[in-house]
């Protein structure tokens, strides 16, 4: 029988995995979880020797078990067969005495591709079953929007409209979005800042008359948020696959423990590691690395989660987050499924910006999770030191994790894997500055400087932006966004 999913805040209403993928967020504001997590273990000897796609099928079928074998095979082929620039999809490389798991070989050179290449496939099949077509709506400050565009481009039954604040993204980020190919994609610049754009998107989601008009046409609006179980599940795969690579190249023996250190923002990436552990992967510690927005470091040390603190703009912008939404799922599992507790904690967070867990629960979490954070200066020093010592270039997000990992005492014989979440070429200017390279000129000349210094080529998709055709030049007021979306629904495949 298929596993049922329900909210972290109540278990009354249940749905299948497909239903959870379509919904994204549960109706009561909680996140979808299943109590079957861990009841089916992944056989390690099946993973070792498997290709990335073999392992993806195995892990995803276990987590999202109402997709048929044929459906999942199609999803995996569409997501990973030709979209990543390396056959390994997420290769592990040795750097000094540690390992780096490179998650950035997808179409947008960041780790969100791994999930956002798969989510549209899962959604498209779930929507077809319900006879619906989906318009994905997103506000972006730069990175996630592009990864979502690349994932949903030309996916049957789906369209995507992305809004970004006009003049507020980097030139590379803007080019990545406005050059996106696909017959079902649209990109609009909005006058105002990111908050204005995001608030307007939330208003569109709340517009009932619009929803009714679209419903008559068989269309529903949806989002590609990182709380969607269809984004979390694909991330569990690379923990198993990384382990398989380590066994495959003799770095560890099957059954040995491994530590993973994860640059963390919304807590999705590191939570996927916890899912892998529950499904049988021998993980000793999961290390949560934060930048100066170190709300998680404090939480893991004291049990108090408090977002009432200054917000820092850092050189690792994808980790500039004060509410780590996916932490809610960890609290659910660690409290043995205490939905009443989770509902109360999240209510505290919404009303006061703060909650506190008891000592027993904190100890259970601490038995598994270590933590630490890096300031911008420490991240820059980590980039420099890693390059000088090992000739390996870290991006600013990965540098945060590298800094933290090097300060946590290593257990003898336990291999340590640092997750690399972005290509350094995506953040060329900051990387060149940290390595004392000449970062003058535009982003493209900066890329060439880094190529020459590192001996490693920049991703073709990033270099190609210099001469790519710009497809979208619409600039609008926030009040005109809803009409723009409604018009774009006409282009749905
Ligand atoms: C999103 C992102 C992160 C943070 O991942 P979470 O799953 O939100 O914790 C880290 N690094 C990069 C480059 C990202 O894009």
Which among 292, 309, 307 has a CA at the least distance from the CA of 396? Answer: 292
Interaxial angle between packed helices 52-63 and 229-248, expressed in degrees from 0 to 180 and rounded to the nearest 10: 140
pLDDT digits (tens, 9 = 90+) for 439-459: 778 889 999 999 999 999 999
Mean pLDDT over 34-62 rounds to 96
Q: Looking at the predicted structure, is the pLDDT value of residue 492 above 80?
A: no
pLDDT of amino acid 330: 98
Mean pLDDT over 254-280 rounds to 97
pLDDT of amino acid 1: 67
Token couple for 45: 């000897």
Q: Looking at the predicted structure, is the pLDDT value of residue 493 above 70?
A: no
Residue nearest (by alpha carbon) to ligand 1 atom 11? 421
Report d(CA 309, CA 292) in Å as an integer.
11
Q: Looking at the predicted structure, is the pLDDT value of residue 278 above 90?
A: yes
Spatial CB neighbours of 153, under 8 Å, sequence gap ≥ 6: 160, 180, 181, 182, 184, 185
Q: Which of 137-146, 399-408, 455-464 has the lowest mean pLDDT?
A: 137-146
Q: Ligand 1: which residues within 6 Å by Cβ?
A: 110-112, 143, 226, 263-269, 318-319, 397, 421-422
Q: Which of 91-95, 189-193, 340-344 has the lowest mean pLDDT?
A: 189-193
pLDDT of amino acid 440: 79
Count of CA atoms in the C-beta half-sphere (13 A) of 101: 29
Give me the chain's average pLDDT, please. 94
Q: How far is the CA of 2 from the centre of ligand 1 (A)?
A: 31
Q: Looking at the predicted structure, is the pLDDT value of residue 55 above 90?
A: yes
Mean pLDDT over 148-176 rounds to 92
Report d(CA 281, CA 117) in Å as an integer.
24
Active site residues: 112
Atom of ligand 1 lying closest to residue 112 CA: 15
Mean pLDDT over 373-402 rounds to 98
Q: How confident is the model at residue 409 (pLDDT cuts 50, 70, 90)?
A: confident
Mean pLDDT over 385-393 rounds to 97
> Percent of the chain scored above 70 by pLDDT?
100
Interaxial angle between packed helices 481-488 and 208-216, expressed in degrees from 0 to 180 and rounded to the nearest 10: 10
pLDDT of amino acid 438: 83
Which of 111, 288, 326, 423 for mutating ligand 1's site (highest number of atoms within 8 Å of CB)?
Answer: 111
Q: What pTM does this model have?
A: 0.95
Mean pLDDT over 252-276 rounds to 97
pLDDT digits (tens, 9 = 90+) for 16-36: 999 999 989 998 999 999 999
Question: Beta strand 133-139 with 354-356: parallel, antiparallel or unpaired?
Answer: unpaired
pLDDT of amino acid 491: 77
Q: Looking at the predicted structure, is the pLDDT value of residue 247 above 70?
A: yes
Residue nearest (by alpha carbon) to ligand 1 atom 8? 266
Q: How far is the CA of 269 from the centre of ligand 1 (A)?
A: 7
Q: How confident is the model at residue 225 (pLDDT cuts 50, 70, 90)?
A: confident
Report d(CA 444, CA 438) in Å as an integer.
12
Q: How confident is the model at residue 58 (pLDDT cuts 50, 70, 90)?
A: very high
Q: How confident is the model at residue 305 (pLDDT cuts 50, 70, 90)?
A: very high
pLDDT digits (tens, 9 = 90+) for 127-156: 999 899 999 999 988 788 999 999 999 999
Q: Which has more confidence, 297 or 466?
A: 297
The string of DSSP letters for 456-490 reads -PPPHHHHGGGGPPP----EE-GGGHHHHHHHHGG
pLDDT of amino acid 356: 98
Atom of ligand 1 lying closest to residue 272 CA: 7
Q: How confident is the model at residue 355 (pLDDT cuts 50, 70, 90)?
A: very high
Atom of ligand 1 lying closest to residue 144 CA: 15
> Percent of the chain scored above 90 by pLDDT?
87
């Amino acid at each position: 029988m298929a596993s049922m999913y329900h909210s972290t805040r109540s278990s009354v209403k249940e749905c299948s995995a497909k239903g959870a993928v379509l919904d994204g967020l549960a109706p009561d504001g909680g996140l979808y979880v299943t109590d079957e997590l861990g009841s089916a273990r992944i056989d390690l000897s099946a993973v070792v020797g498997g290709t990335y796609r073999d392992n993806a099928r195995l892990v995803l079928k276990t987590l999202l078990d109402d997709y048929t074998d044929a459906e999942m095979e199609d999803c995996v082929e569409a997501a990973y067969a030709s979209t990543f620039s390396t056959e390994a999809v997420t290769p592990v490389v040795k750097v000094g005495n540690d390992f780096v798991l490179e998650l950035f070989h997808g179409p947008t050179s960041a780790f969100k591709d791994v999930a956002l290449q798969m989510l549209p496939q899962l959604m498209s099949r779930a929507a077809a079953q319900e006879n619906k077509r989906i318009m994905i709506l997103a506000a972006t400050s730069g990175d996630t929007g592009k990864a979502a565009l690349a994932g949903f481009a030309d996916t049957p039954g789906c369209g995507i409209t992305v809004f970004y604040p006009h003049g507020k993204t980097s030139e590379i980020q803007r080019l990545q979005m406005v050059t996106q190919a696909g017959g079902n994609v649209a990109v609009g610049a909005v006058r105002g800042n990111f908050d204005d754009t995001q608030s307007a998107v939330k208003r569109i989601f709340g517009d009932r008359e619009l929803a009714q008009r679209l419903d008559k046409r068989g269309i529903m609006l949806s989002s590609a948020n990182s709380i969607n179980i269809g984004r979390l599940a694909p991330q569990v795969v690379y923990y198993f696959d990384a382990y398989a690579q380590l066994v495959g190249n003799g770095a560890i023996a099957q059954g040995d423990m491994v530590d993973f250190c994860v640059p963390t923002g919304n807590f999705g990436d590191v939570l996927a590691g916890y899912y892998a552990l529950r499904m049988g992967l021998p993980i000793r510690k999961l290390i949560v690395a934060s930048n100066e927005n170190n709300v998680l470091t404090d939480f893991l040390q004291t049990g108090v989660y408090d977002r009432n603190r200054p917000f820092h703009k850092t050189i690792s912008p994808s980790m500039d987050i004060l509410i780590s939404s996916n932490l809610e799922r960890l609290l659910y599992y660690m409290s043995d499924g205490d939905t009443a507790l989770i509902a109360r904690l999240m209510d505290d967070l919404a009303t006061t910006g703060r909650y506190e867990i008891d000592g027993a629960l904190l100890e259970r979490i601490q038995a598994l999770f270590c933590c630490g954070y890096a300031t911008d200066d420490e991240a820059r020093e980590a980039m420099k030191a890693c390059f000088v010592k090992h000739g390996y270039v870290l991006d600013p997000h990965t540098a945060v994790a590298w800094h933290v990992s090097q300060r946590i005492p290593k257990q003898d014989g336990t291999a340590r894997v640092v997750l690399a979440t972005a290509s350094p070429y995506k953040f060329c200017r900051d990387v060149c500055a940290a390595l004392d390279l000449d970062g003058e000129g535009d982003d493209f000349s900066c890329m060439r400087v880094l190529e020459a210094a590192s001996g490693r080529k920049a991703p073709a998709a990033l270099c190609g932006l210099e001469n790519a055709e710009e497809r979208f030049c619409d600039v609008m007021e926030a009040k005109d966004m809803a009409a723009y979306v409604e018009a774009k629904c006409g282009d749905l495949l």
